[in-house]
Amino acid sequence: MPTPKHGTKPEPSKHPLRNKRAFQNALIRWFETHGKDYPWRQTTDPWAILVSEIMLQQTQVSTVLGNQENHARGGHFARFIALYPCPRAMAEASEQEILKAWEGLGYYRRARNLHAAARAITHEYNGVFPLSHDLILALPGIGPYTAGAVSSFAYNDAQAIVDANVARVFSRLFDFQERIDTGRGQKQLWQWARELVSNSNPRAYNSALMELGQTHCSNRSPDCMLCPVRHFCQSSKPESLPVKKAATKATRTTEHALFCQDAHSRILLSKEPEGKRREGMWHLPRRQQSDTQDLPVTLSTKYTITRYQVTLHIHRCHPDAVTLESHDQWHTIETLENLPMPSPDRRALEHLIQEAQA
């Protein structure tokens, strides 16, 4: 059959739900040849797979793998698994140790959720990872996608998955003209996922489905001519899908922080209190603009977090002039390496310390 072109639709007989086996086989054959050899695909250990899935939520694969040198060693993923090779190892670690190990990945609530799941596995299952989808889903911080992914990738269990990549593929595959970020839209996507999941090889099928969304069925430039399931696609304008709420424009905000070093070369840091976005993390003490307006700016930097574009001004402050707040604490330079710290603060602090020592 000729390849469908934009403006035309395939024959009704090529609807994926009427040709499930052919659709599954085409996708799996493509994946067996073109699938990327990520380190988490080289194992069926459910704990390692859970760690990878939590890391990959809201974080790009390239960030999880790190730079070229770290990529060969598995980057953040391999280092984390080396530190915490099983749920019990993580359950016995302190939150500060875990946040430090997670440093560079951001969205630190994920690390705390993973810590809670490790404790539940250790205390409720004696450290043995649950074998069923429903028990995995019942772990703290685990949602339907993660439970389905771990079940299918670790146990080859025929469980449906829907993440952003799968949602995009299905929206185009079924020419879905409704918003995917609504309850109704999500319900339909999950229904298709359950109907299409392979019973014979769900591990390869789900991996292939996600890989397709990352590659040929990407967000901005779908490469339909190379798509292994293009004959099944019902959309004549795939670049217009999926339909979802327009992205919220990033909010610009400014923060003011102190760089204060005492006569013993100790650095003043502040620990983010419980309930805050960076709970448990150490950072340069934040202050109101009115408290820093008379202090010289020694460094300015920018970073993005969720929907905020932040400009951070760091003010040099004499130790005798600073008013300590409840979460402030002095730290020696030698101890800084072991403290969990947001990447923007870590980079700024390293620069300022080097500058002071020059």
Query: Catalytic residue positions?
Result: 53
Joined together, the tokens standing for residue 228 give 């292994």
What is the rounded distance in angstroms from the CA atom of residue 256 to the CA atom of residue 287? Answer: 6
Joined together, the tokens standing for residue 106 give 């951001």
What is the rounded distance in angstroms from the CA atom of residue 141 to the CA atom of residue 113? Answer: 5
Partnered with residue 300 across adjacent β-strands are 313
User: Between the CA of residue 152 and those of 110, 201, 213, 251, 326, what are the distances in Å?
Assistant: 21, 9, 18, 39, 47
What is the rounded distance in angstroms from the CA atom of residue 158 to the CA atom of residue 201? Answer: 8
8 A C-beta contact, residue 231 and residue 10 = yes
Cis (ω within 30 of 0) for the bond into 242? Answer: yes
What is the rounded distance in angstroms from the CA atom of residue 336 to the CA atom of residue 340? Answer: 8
Tell me the one-letter amino acid at 23.
F
Reported in sequence order, the residue ranges of 160-290 that DSSP labels E, i.e. its strands, are 251-260, 267-271, 282-283, 286-287
Q: Return left, alpha or beta for 247; rule: phi > 0 is left, psi -120 to 50 is alpha, else beta.
A: beta
